[in-house]
């Protein structure tokens, strides 16, 4: 299975043109079954367990069951991703629970300015890239001595 | 022929790929294009937010030189890379990336990537060149800047690029198809930037079932960069320099934090530290065997010697490392706090970039502070951005490069108008995520310079486009023509499905070209046998069959892998020595030959004559 979809929770993203999991899967694995209106992972042996489908699902319908050819059953890693942090709940096979929270970004979503606020220049012929040397924190382009 | 609509997109600069290098190219090219009224277009087979090798996230930035604070010099970085690659590296390219990489990291921070800081506000280093980050959204943040620079209307997602469009010896764009709708895409461009990553699943992975997808590098890195540049006629370099990472066994969780930050030791099953007990072996690989840090392949090799001797399993001594670290804090209350911090850091290391490893630890009730965990060598990968080096042979830069390493535009391949970055460009290892982004920025600027100097849109022969369309869609036609001949469409004597095609490739590479099951050993006779079998596979690629668009992509991904395999095999055959034990060992030429073979082994494929040329290029040492 690596990622699998809970039948009860999946609403097929309410018949939008594509489901969230289908939109995000880097390996083109998540598909909407148009008859049942539920998503599924079409080729579990090509799943990297990147959890992007799990993180993006609006109804928390996607979960991961570790690769059955080497991972014993019973554990689970469950993320809850917000705009600035991610909370992980780790359930062990022996039922022990651990919880961790980590920051994921320091700026509001969508705010990334391509030049990062660094000064830019207009000389296409020199070796300095658009935001350099300021973005490098240097006064000029370093050379080999 | 399958009835796909043809969609034509004409642009000035075309970026093929959506990962770190492509996103770097996007921000820089968009800036210069805007000033010159040019158009930049990006095409990605997935969604840019989570595509490429950083799709899951990362727990560290592995290249930061720290030039502004005088932490290191460019020369330091060049020496480090040269030694790690056993002398085979383009010092001009390494230096050029190193002098731009800090700016990429500073941009990431401005865009919103959390980088760990110490009490004085400085970056927390994992190792000399490595910074610790909270990197779950690393790619999201980097993609956001790229998308904001380009504008959504210039980004094509879920379009799989198969190969180049050529105008004689100039690249004229790229062709591919949508994996969502029945559309064939023709992108016509004045400059084409290749950044489609490295290659995974060329060799058989260790796992045999569901876990096939758990490669260390992501399975969607399918050799598309190598195929694109080879078919365009670009000279390729270091095609023999594969990379084999040693990672936590099976789930391939990262070991960098354990080795560098937590100062952990690795031992064999008898508790012996193989880096010490097998130290004498390093004498055989001088001068590189005697440098610090010991090159990655030699560290692998000392471990493999114990494995081959039956002294496994190999363990990362996590409990010992945590005990040592906590003992540095004498106060008991403070020590408990320190332990809690270490525990959180250890888990985040996995959760940010290899969640499977956290799942494996949880499912086997591993508490790293209580017991050691197994590590092992993964299968071989093609990743010019890491400790591998495979990629296109690209131009250096005017003020750093000797004459024979420079032909006008920074990091342009030997094909006019075709630029490469990240895993697509070779002989400039140790770029990792940040250096790939920096190299993307380099070609973002140099490609606009090229377009300004060469403003004419290349000519594209419409008959050639129709021919490419027929060839690319052929697997759909093959399936349709034969699917009703058998009761189960999975098995049919007239075609081969992409999954079985991939397994056949992997078996050849594994058994004859030094994969896991042959203990990374090969020889001339093995290689020649492998080549014979690869030729049959190449012939059978004409019979690949696809039931739908997803399978059509899988067909072409596997053709791409096959070409990466071919270039790899030929170059190992050409280099009659063993230079990177721990990556591969040629048992018929077991020693390193510094006198004759301290050179680049390059190759060029000529599509017109269907022939390969192998050639040696000199190494110029620029730093003492």
DSSP code per residue over B209-270: SGGGG--SS-TT-BSHHHHHHHHHT--EE-TT--B--EEETTT----HIIIIIS---EE-TT
- Give the CA count within 13 Å in the CB-facing half-sphere of B321: 24
Cα(B303)–Cα(B312) distance, integer angstroms: 9
Q: 3-state DSSP call for residue B70?
A: coil
Q: Mean of the pLDDT values across residues B18-38?
A: 98
Residue B603, φ and ψ in degrees, nearest 5: -145, 150
Q: Which of residues 33-72 of A touch B (CB under 8 A)?
A: 42, 44-52, 64, 66-72
CB atoms within 10 A of CB A11: 14
What pLDDT score was predicted for residue B240? 98
pTM of the model: 0.98
B416 in catalytic set: no
Residues B570 and B277: their CA atoms lie apart, in Å, by 35
Residue B475 has what pLDDT?
Answer: 98
Residue pair B608/B593 in contact by the 8 Å Cβ criterion: no
Q: Which H, E and C letters describe A9-45, residue by residue?
A: CCCHHHHCCCCHHHHHCCCCCEEEECCCCEEEECCHH
In this predicted model, what pLDDT tens digit does every residue of B63-116 receive, in sequence order?
999 999 999 999 999 999 999 999 999 999 999 999 999 999 999 999 999 999
Residue of B nearest to A18 (CA): B180
Catalytic, out of B32, B129, B216, B563: B216
A48 in active site: yes
Helix (H) / strand (E) element for B194: namely: strand B191-194
Strands B236-237 and B191-194: unpaired
Q: Do B32 and A130 touch (CB under 8 A)?
A: yes
Does the annotation mark B349 as catalytic? yes
Q: How far is CA B178 from CA B4, B43, B153, B158, in A?
A: 10, 10, 16, 6
Report the DSSP beta bridge partners of residue B600.
B617
Q: Report helix, strand or coil for A82.
A: coil
The yes-or-no verdict on residue A18 having pLDDT over 80 is: no
Q: Say if residue B467 is exposed, middle or buried (CB neighbours under 10 Å; 0-12, 13-18, 19+).
A: exposed
Contacts of A16 (CB under 8 A, 6+ apart): none
Q: Tokens 């941009």 appear where?
A: B107
Structure letter (DSSP) for residue B52: S
Question: Cα-flanking dihedrals φ and ψ of residue B287, to 5°?
Answer: -80, -15
CA distance B152 to B194: 20
Asked if A90 contacts B360 with a C-beta cutoff of 8 angstroms, the reply is no
Signed CA dihedral, B140, B144, B145, B150: sign only: positive
* Tokens, residue B473: 């869609």
Separation CA B561–CA B69 (nearest Å): 42
- Tokens found for residue B488: 């189960």
Q: Tell me which H or E stretch contains B105.
A: helix B91-111
Contact A27 B399 (CB under 8 A): no
CA-derived radius of gyration, chain B: 24
The 10 Å Cβ neighbour count of residue B493 is 9
**Interval B122-133: pLDDT, tens:** 999 989 999 999
Residue A14: per-residue pLDDT: 86
A1: confidence class by pLDDT, cuts 50, 70, 90: low
Q: Can you tell me the distance from the alpha carbon of B137 to that of B142, in angstroms, rounded to the nearest whole number?
A: 9
CA distance B274 to B266: 7
Closest residue of B to A138, CA-based?
B68
Burial B68-86 (b: 16+ CB within 10 A, else e): eeebbbbbbbbbbbbbbbb
Distance from CA of A67 to the nearest CA of B (A): 5
Q: What is the pLDDT of residues B346-357, one digit of tens each?
A: 999 999 999 999
Neighbours of B330 (CB within 10 A): 7
Integer Cα distance of B194 and B174 in angstroms: 10
Residue with structure tokens 């992108």? B187
Q: In this predicted model, what pLDDT tens digit does every residue of B230-282 receive, in sequence order?
A: 999 999 999 999 999 999 999 999 998 899 889 999 999 999 999 999 999 99
Rg (Cα) of chain A, in Å, rounded?
22
What is the Cα B99 distance to its own chain's centre? 21
Q: Which pLDDT does position A15 carry in this prediction? A: 65
Q: How far apart are CA B35 and CA B613, in angstroms?
A: 41
B36/A124 CB distance under 8 A: yes
Lowest mean pLDDT among A17-21, A116-120, B297-301, B361-365: A17-21
Query: Does residue A99 sit at the B interface (CB-CB below 8 Å)?
Result: no
Residue tagged active-site, from B82, B170, B214, B247: B247
Whether residue A130 and residue B212 make contact (CB cut-off 8 A), yes or no, is no
Is the model's pLDDT at B420 over the cut of 80?
Answer: yes
Residues of A with CB below 8 A from B74's CB? 142-144
Determine which of B47-51, B69-73, B124-128, B325-329 has the lowest per-residue pLDDT on average: B325-329
**How far does the CA of residue B507 sit from the closest CA of chain A (Å)?**
17
One of A46, A48, A89, A140 is an active-site residue; which one? A48
Coil/strand/helix, residue B473: helix
Beta bridge partners of A76: A91
Indicate the average pLDDT of chain B: 97
Q: Which long-range contacts (CB under 8 A, 24 or more apart) does A126-131 make?
A: A127/B397, A127/B398, A127/B399, A127/B410, A129/B28, A129/B100, A129/B103, A129/B441, A129/B442, A129/B444, A129/B445, A130/B27, A130/B28, A130/B31, A130/B32, A130/B445, A131/B103, A131/B107
Distances (CA, A) of B12 to A110, B30, B176, B585: 27, 11, 18, 45
Give CA–CA dist A79/A91, Å, rounded. Answer: 11
Find the farthest-apart pair of alpha carbons in chain A and give their distance in angstroms, rounded: 67
Q: Contact A36/A25 with Cβ under 8 angstroms?
A: no
Report strand pairing: B5-10 vs B183-188.
parallel
Residues B176, B160 contacting (CB under 8 angstroms)? yes
Q: Distance (Å) from the C-alpha of residue B548 to the closest C-alpha of chain A?
A: 12
Contact B211 A52 (CB under 8 A): no
Residue-wise pLDDT tens digits, B470-480: 999 999 999 99
Active-site residue, B363 included: no
Which residue(s) pair with B603 in the sheet?
B236, B614
* A65-103 pLDDT per residue, tens: 999 999 999 999 999 999 999 999 999 999 999 999 999
CB-CB under 8 Å, A137 with B219: no
Print burial letters for B239-256: b (CB count within 10 Å at least 16), e (below 16): bbbbbbbbbbbbbbbbbb
CA distances from B449 to B92, B166, B409, B440 (A): 20, 20, 8, 14
Quick check: B58 and B385 in contact, CB under 8 A? no
Residue A23: which pLDDT band, with cuts at 50, 70 and 90? very high
pLDDT of the residue at B260: 87
Distance CA B416, CA B16 (A): 16
Confidence label for B214 from pLDDT (cuts 50, 70 and 90): very high
Q: Which of A24, A109, A115 sits opposite B47 (nearest CB)?
A: A24
Cβ neighbour number for residue B449 with a 10 Å cutoff: 18
Query: What is the CA angle B570-B581-B200, rounded to 5?
Result: 55
Q: Which residues contact B81 (CB under 8 A, 6 or more apart)?
A: B89, B94, B428, B429, B430
């Amino acid at each position: 299975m690596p990622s699998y979809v809970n039948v009860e929770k999946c609403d097929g993203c309410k018949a939008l043109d594509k489901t969230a999991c289908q939109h995000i899967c880097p390996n083109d694995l998540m598909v909407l079954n148009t008859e049942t209106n539920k998503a599924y992972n079409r080729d579990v042996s090509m799943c990297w367990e990147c959890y992007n489908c799990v993180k993006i699902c609006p109804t928390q319908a996607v979960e991961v069951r570790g690769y059955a050819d080497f991972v014993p059953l019973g554990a689970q890693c469950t993320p809850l991703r917000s705009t600035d942090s991610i909370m992980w709940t780790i359930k062990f096979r022996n039922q022990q629970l651990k919880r961790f929270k980590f920051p994921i970004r320091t700026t509001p979503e969508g705010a990334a300015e391509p030049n990062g606020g660094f000064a830019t220049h207009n000389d296409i012929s020199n070796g300095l890239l658009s935001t350099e040397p300021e973005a490098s924190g240097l006064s000029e382009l370093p050379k080999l001595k | 022929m399958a009835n796909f609509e043809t969609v034509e997109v004409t642009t000035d600069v075309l970026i093929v790929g959506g990962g770190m290098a492509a996103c770097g190219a996007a921000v820089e090219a968009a800036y210069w294009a805007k000033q010159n009224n040019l158009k930049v277009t990006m095409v990605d087979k997935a969604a840019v937010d989570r595509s490429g090798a950083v799709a899951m996230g990362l727990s560290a930035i592995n290249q930061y030189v720290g030039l502004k604070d005088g932490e290191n010099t460019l020369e330091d970085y060049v020496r480090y890379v040269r030694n790690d690659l056993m002398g085979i590296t383009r010092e001009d390219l390494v230096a050029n990336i190193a002098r731009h990489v800090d700016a990429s990291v500073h941009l990431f921070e401005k865009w919103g990537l959390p980088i760990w800081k110490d009490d004085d506000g400085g970056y927390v280093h994992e190792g000399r060149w490595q910074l610790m980050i909270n990197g779950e959204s690393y790619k999201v943040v980097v993609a956001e800047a790229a998308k904001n620079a380009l504008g959504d209307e210039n980004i094509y997602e879920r379009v799989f690029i198969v190969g180049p469009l050529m105008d004689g010896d100039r690249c004229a764009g790229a062709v591919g198809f949508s994996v969502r709708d029945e559309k064939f895409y023709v992108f016509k461009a004045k400059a084409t930037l290749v950044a489609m990553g490295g290659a995974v699943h060329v060799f058989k992975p260790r796992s045999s079932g569901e876990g096939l997808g758990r490669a260390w590098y992501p399975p969607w890195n399918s050799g598309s960069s190598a195929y694109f540049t080879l078919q365009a006629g670009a000279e390729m370099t270091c095609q023999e320099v594969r990379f084999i990472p040693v990672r936590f066994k099976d789930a391939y969780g990262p070991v960098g934090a354990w080795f560098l930050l937590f100062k952990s030791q690795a031992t064999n099953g008898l508790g012996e530290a193989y880096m010490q007990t097998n130290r004498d072996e390093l004498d055989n690989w001088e001068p590189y065997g005697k440098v610090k840090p010991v090159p990655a392949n030699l560290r692998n090799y000392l471990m493999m010697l114990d494995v081959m001797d039956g002294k496994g399993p190999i363990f990362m001594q996590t409990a010992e490392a945590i005990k040592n670290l906590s003992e540095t804090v004498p106060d008991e209350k403070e020590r408990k706090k320190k332990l809690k911090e270490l525990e959180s850091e250890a888990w985040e290391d996995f959760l940010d970039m290899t969640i499977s490893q956290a799942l494996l630890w949880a499912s086997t009730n591993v508490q790293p502070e209580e017991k050691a965990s197994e590590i092992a060598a993964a299968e071989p990968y093609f990743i010019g951005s890491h400790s591998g080096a495979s990629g296109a042979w690209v131009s250096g830069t005017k003020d750093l490069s000797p004459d024979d390493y420079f032909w006008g535009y920074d990091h342009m391949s030997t094909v006019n108008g075709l630029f490469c970055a990240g895993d697509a460009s070779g002989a400039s290892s140790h770029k990792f995520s940040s250096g790939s982004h920096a190299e993307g920025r380099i070609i973002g600027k140099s490609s606009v310079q090229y377009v300004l100097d060469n403003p004419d849109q290349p000519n594209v022969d419409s008959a050639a486009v129709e021919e490419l369309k027929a060839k690319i869609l052929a697997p759909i036609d093959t399936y349709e023509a034969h699917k009703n001949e058998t009761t189960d469409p999975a098995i049919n004597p007239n075609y081969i499905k992409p999954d079985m095609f991939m397994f056949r490739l992997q078996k050849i590479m594994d058994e004859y070209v030094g994969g896991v099951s042959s203990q990374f050993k090969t020889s001339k006779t093995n290689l020649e046998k492998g080549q014979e079998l690869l030729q049959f596979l190449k012939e059978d690629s004409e019979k690949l069959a696809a039931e739908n668009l997803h399978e059509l992509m899988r067909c072409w991904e596997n053709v791409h892998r096959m070409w990466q395999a071919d270039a790899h095999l030929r170059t190992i055959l050409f280099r009659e020595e063993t230079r990177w034990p721990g990556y591969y060992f040629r048992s018929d030429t077991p020693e390193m030959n510094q006198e004759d073979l301290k050179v680049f082994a390059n190759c060029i494929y000529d599509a017109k004559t269907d022939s390969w040329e192998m050639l040696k290029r000199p190494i110029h040492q620029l730093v003492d």
